[in-house]
Amino acid sequence: MKAWLGALMVLLAGASWGQAGTPAVSGSWVAQAEGVRVAVPGRDTDSRALSGAAPPDAQIARISWQYATPPGALLEAWLCHPQRCLRLNGVRGQSQGLAGLSAVQPLHFRFRLGQGAKPVQVNGLQVIVDHRRPAAAKAQKTVGQ
């Protein structure tokens, strides 16, 4: 019986954590935006707002993004929340860099051409926001300890 109970506790603790030690999420939303043309070097170009449904108190746990550019495009990219922007290190990826911020607030992509770069069409803008509620985060810490 003790072995079974111990195994159950390990399973519950593992279930409360995602891959690579990240907190489990209580929900997620996905949003896509039309492509944008980034034409003027040194000037920011923003996508339209990206948002989805989440409980009012939901906080971002992790974000995933993707966008497409022509090969060799000299472009800087960020994913922005009303409170701050996260510099993106590639055309797709995941980050906890906006963790703890409101998952209800809209996000947008921001792009900037490098000096001397030619105009670029950026397509396939997509973001996935994994979110959790503050009470769920506290319960996960208790179960995992």
- What sign does the dihedral 41-44-49-51 (CA atoms) show? positive
Q: Which domain holds residue 33?
A: 2-144
Whether 55 contacts 132, CB under 8 Å: no
In angstroms, rounded to a whole number, what is the distance separating the alpha carbons of residues 82 and 106? Answer: 7
The total number of structural domains in the chain stands at 1
Which of 4-13, 20-29, 43-52, 90-99 is predicted least confidently? 4-13
Confirm if 29 and 129 have CB atoms less than 8 A apart.
yes
**pLDDT digits 0-9 by tens, 57-71:** 999 999 999 999 999
Any idea what the CATH number is for the domain that residue 83 is in?
2.60.120.260
Single out the residue of 75, 107, 80 nearest to residue 91, CA to CA.
75
Read off the pLDDT of residues 103-127 as tens digits, 9 standing for 90 and up. Answer: 999 999 999 999 889 999 999 999 9
pTM of the predicted model, to two decimals?
0.76
